[in-house]
Amino acid sequence: MTALVLIDHEGGLLKQPSRSAVAAATKLGEVHVLVAGSGVQAAADAAARLPGVSKVILADAPAYANALAEPLAALIVALAPGYSHLMAATTANGKNVMPRVAAVLDSQPISDIAEVIDADTFVRPIYAGNAMATVKSSDAKKVITVRAASFDPVPNEGGSASIEAAPAVDMPAGSRWVSAELSKSERPELTAARVVVSGGRGMQNGDNFKLLDPIADKLGAAVGASRAAVDAGFVPNDYQVGQTGKIVAPELYIAIGISGAIQHLAGMKDSKVIVAINKDEEAPIFQVADYGLVADLFVALPELAAELERG
Amino acid sequence: MKILVPVKRVVDYNVKVRVKSDNTGVETAGVKMSMNPFDEIAIEEAVRLKEKGVATEIIAVSMGVAACQETIRTALAMGADRGILVESDVDLQPLAVAKMLRAIVEKEGPKLVILGKQAIDDDMSATGQMLAALLGWPQGTFASKVTVEGDSMTVIREVDGGLETVVLNLPAIITTDLRLNEPRYASLPNIMKARKKTIDIVKPGDLGVDPTPRLVVIKVEEPPKRQAGRKVASVAELVDKLRNEAKVI
Ligand SMILES: Cc1cc2nc3c(=O)[nH]c(=O)nc-3n(C[C@H](O)[C@H](O)[C@H](O)COP(=O)(O)OP(=O)(O)OC[C@H]3O[C@@H](n4cnc5c(N)ncnc54)[C@H](O)[C@@H]3O)c2cc1C
Ligand SMILES: Cc1cc2nc3c(=O)[nH]c(=O)nc-3n(C[C@H](O)[C@H](O)[C@H](O)COP(=O)(O)OP(=O)(O)OC[C@H]3O[C@@H](n4cnc5c(N)ncnc54)[C@H](O)[C@@H]3O)c2cc1C
């Protein structure tokens, strides 16, 4: 039994959610990984050092440059005969590509698994994480995306896998990548950060999000947001935490001016420690918070920054 | 051109679902059901394309129990022209749904299918991509802006790091993200008009698809409950607790 894991990477570095997907795959048997892109030898070298990985398949071609679903899915389908499980992290890329692979293989995908029971049986959250379903697949090949927050990532170093070139595949036409407008930030990525500080509608505008900066700086935190804050244009879409945004499970999650809707909780309730700052003592966020502070955030945030500074 | 919009009947997003005591699923009896919110966004986008003169006809399709007709009526009231119900009491999983949608696409010949990026009950986020693969069409998932220009379409997508722009040749598949548009409420006259629009009813067998689930649900359980903690009186106390009790900073 061998699993193939599609790796997300950028600038020669592997994304942490993919290391969590590798961790899930190691529970199934032998693990190979696929690194696809253009000029991605460095990422393949990095993948070869992941503990538990025995082979890296390197697909280095211009067609894979921007991770379009159509060519990537065609490649994975071509590699599929050698594998029992085809896997990726539940990232925008994994969600875009893997169901496409599954349909061609006549397999029902198993999305966003949080636990591996055995080779056919997995636990996955449904209804915004308000229920956990144990599901058993009867398909010959399992196509799986992995909830990164549920598996500790394998370390970056420790392995020494071989690297092998992928076979050439007929490229489907029909889609073309034009451009990307990515948020630039010096901060850690939301899904990989040890601490996340999130703001909601209570922040009132985008400028006020700057109040979070000294706190995030001090704690080495990523900054997130509720959907309301994203919809209102305070911050870009990639800040959204929740059922339909990013799922995070940091050591510390600080929710500021966020009411705690089911859809928001779905994205952060597995955090180790949750802090809520809200002026409404009835806000549902306090039902999941380990430490709640009923306060006006415009008073509390400068105080918090000062208190952390005091060290 | 014709646009096909699959609309799913799901537990309303405001409902806090409860797991059944026999662990076979979640309680749906007596629970408010609504159209999947992402599918409202899909219908809205299709209606806007029709208002711009890009689309000529919008077909809303729902698959599931007879009550899915209500979901189709909602789509018709928002501006879809007619409906198709694929009636089945079986637990329809995305692979079966995608196969049945393929059969409908082959019969109806739409140039665009707009789906939700995920259904908020089962959260699979799979059906659109699977339909695209079965048809061999390109896909623009998690769309936050769609512009049709002749035989192609520009799609701005919400990805993990921000936004990405792709161009797709038609026919193509779109899945909607939250920021694509704000769906309209159906007006009373339109709700009345929708009653006269037709809904065709077919069975999975009529579409040549065996809908038997490939994923068997063994059990459904409550996730571990989080205990509410306590309130702190001041920022100073909060920082002290985080440092000395939780030891996370
Ligand atoms: C299909 C669908 C998907 C969704 N997906 C997501 C998702 O992925 N993520 C998500 O977050 N939401 C999602 N939502 C939206 C969700 O239902 C809520 O609407 C949203 O989370 C509310 O955001 P909020 O808490 O910032 O705003 P509100 O609910 O308006 O809460 C604002 C809070 O700020 C507090 N506040 C205001 N001023 C101050 C102040 N000066 N000091 C302190 N506190 C203050 C208020 O007391 C209030 O509790 C989704 C909804 C739908 C229908
Ligand atoms: C534990 C469990 C319990 C379940 N219980 C039930 C149940 O009681 N009743 C039941 O009907 N199903 C039940 N299901 C099936 C499940 O809810 C989904 O119908 C199925 O798995 C499709 O996944 P999805 O909707 O998350 O697809 P996604 O891929 O997330 O859906 C994306 C989009 O595809 C389209 N789409 C998907 N399904 C349909 C559809 N049926 N009709 C029209 N458009 C559609 C919509 O545009 C939707 O926005 C259950 C599944 C599990 C795991």
Minimal Cβ distance to B166: which of A131, A175, A275: A175
Average pLDDT of the segment spanning A198-225 = 98
- Ligand 2 mean position to A295 CA, how many Å? 41
Q: pLDDT (tens digit, 9 = 90+) per residue, A245-275? A: 999 999 999 999 999 999 999 999 999 999 9
Closest CA to A240 of A275, A201, A279: A201
Q: Which two tokens stand for residue A294?
A: 């009923």
Measured in residues, chain A has a length of: 311
Among B13, B14, B35, residue to substitute to test ligand 1 (most atoms within 8 Å of Cβ): B13
pLDDT of residue B239: 97
Interface test with B, best of A139, A237, A270 (most B CBs within 10 A): A237
**Model pLDDT for residues A293-308, shown as the tens digit of each residue:** 999 999 999 999 999 9
Would you call A92 an interface residue with chain B, using a CB distance cutoff of 8 Å?
Answer: yes
Contact A132 B126 (CB under 8 A): no
Residue B168 has pLDDT above 90, yes or no: yes
- Residue A146: strand, helix, or coil: strand
Residue predicted with more confidence, B123 or A69: A69
Peptide bond between residue B171 and the one before it cis (omega within 30 degrees of 0):
yes
Contact indicator for A5, A29 with CB cutoff of 8 Å: no
Mean of all residue pLDDT scores within chain A: 96
A300 touches chain B (CB under 8 A): yes
Q: DSSP labels for A162-217?
A: EEEEPPP-PPP-SEEEEEEEEPP-SSPPTTT-SEEEEE-GGG-STGGGGGGHHHHH
Closest residue to atom 8 of ligand 1, CA basis: A242
Cα angle A114, A120, A125 (rounded to 5 degrees) comes to: 25
pLDDT for residue B7: 98
Q: Name the residue among B128, B167, B248 with its Cβ closest to that of A176.
A: B167
pLDDT reported for residue A26? 98
What value does the mean pLDDT take over residues A75-98?
A: 97
Separation between Cα atoms, residue A293 and residue B125, nearest integer Å: 36
* pLDDT, position A183: 87
Angle at A6 between CA A270 and CA A177, to 5 degrees: 105
Q: How confident is the model at residue A65 (pLDDT cuts 50, 70, 90)?
A: very high
Angle between helices A92-104 and B127-135 (to 10 degrees): 50
| Tokens matching residue A75 | 């490649």
Least confident range from A18-27, A182-191, B175-184: namely A182-191
Structure tokens at A122: 């997995």
Per-residue pLDDT, A184: 86
Q: What is the pLDDT of residue A205?
A: 98
* pLDDT digit string, tens, across residues A117-151: 999 999 999 998 899 999 999 999 999 999 999 99
Asked if A295 is an interface residue toward chain B (Cβ–Cβ < 8 A), one would say yes
* Residue among A6, A126, A150, A191 with most chain B CBs within 10 A, to mutate: A126
- Mean pLDDT computed over A149-160: 96
Whole-number Å distance, alpha carbon A4 to ligand 1 midpoint, is 38
Ligand nearest to the CA of B95: 2
Task: Give residue B82's pLDDT.
Answer: 98
Share of chain B residues as helix, strand and coil, in percent rounded to the nearest 5: 30, 30, 40
Q: Residue B38 has what pLDDT? A: 97
pLDDT tens by residue, B169-218? 999 999 999 999 999 999 999 999 999 999 999 999 999 999 999 999 99
Side chain identity at residue A39, one-letter code: G
The predicted structure's pLDDT at residue B123: 79
Instruction: Write the residue with the smallest CA distance to atom 49 of ligand 2.
Output: B116
Atom number of ligand 2 nearest to Cα B117 = 32
Pocket test for ligand 1, best of A226, A247, A282, A293 (most atoms within 8 A of CB): A226
Q: Could you tell me how far CA B136 lies from the centroid of its own chain?
A: 21
Q: Which of A227, A240, A253 to mutate to test the pocket of ligand 1 (most atoms within 8 A of CB)?
A: A227
Stretch A282-289: mean pLDDT = 96
CB contact under 8 Å between B139 and A100, yes or no, is yes
Stated pTM of the model? 0.92
User: Ligand 1: residues whose CB is within 6 Å?
Assistant: A 200-202, 226-229, 240-245, 257-259, 261, 263-264, 267, 278-280, 283, 296-298; B 13, 37, 120
> By percentage, how much of chain A surpasses pLDDT 70?
100
The count of other CB atoms within 10 Å of the CB of residue A141 is 17
CA distance A79 to A197: 41
Show the DSSP H helices in chain A as ranges: 16-26, 41-48, 69-79, 92-104, 213-219, 227-231, 262-265, 297-310
Q: How many CB atoms lie within 10 A of CB A311?
A: 8
pLDDT confidence of residue A171: 85
- Phi then psi for residue A104, to 5 deg, are -65, -35
Q: What is the pLDDT of residues A161-178, one digit of tens each?
A: 999 999 999 888 899 999
Is ligand 2 within 6 A of the CB of residue B202? no
Q: With beta carbons under 8 A apart, name residues in chain B contacting A244.
A: 38, 117-118, 120, 177-178
Residues 47-76 in B contacting A (C-alpha not used; CB under 8 Å): none
Residue A311 has pLDDT above 90, yes or no: no
Helix (H, G, I), strand (E, B) or coil at A293: strand
* The total number of residues written for chain B in this structure: 249
Chain A residue whose CA is closest to B233: A293
| Ligand showing the shortest atom-to-Cα distance for residue B215 | 2
Q: Residue B112 pLDDT > 80, yes or no?
A: yes
Closest ligand to B14 CA?
1
pLDDT-derived band at B124 (thresholds 50, 70, 90) equals confident
Interface ipTM above 0.95? no
Q: What is the pLDDT of residue A98?
A: 98
CB A216 within 8 A of CB A102: no
Confidence of residue B225 (pLDDT cuts 50, 70, 90): confident
Q: Do B228 and A289 touch (CB under 8 A)?
A: yes
Does any CB of chain B come closer than 8 Å to the CB of residue A302? no
CA of A249 relative to ligand 2 center, distance in Å: 26
Question: Residue B122 to residues A22, A74, A160, B8, B26: CA-CA distances in angstroms?
Answer: 24, 26, 39, 11, 11
Confidence grade of residue A109 (pLDDT, cut at 50, 70, 90):
very high
Residue B228 has pLDDT above 90, yes or no: no
Q: Evaluate if residue B226 carries a pLDDT over 90.
A: no
pLDDT at A181: 94
The model's confidence at residue B227, banded by pLDDT at 50, 70 and 90, is confident
pLDDT on residue B224:
87
> To the nearest whole percent, how much of chain A has pLDDT over 90?
95
Q: What is the pLDDT of residue B106?
A: 98
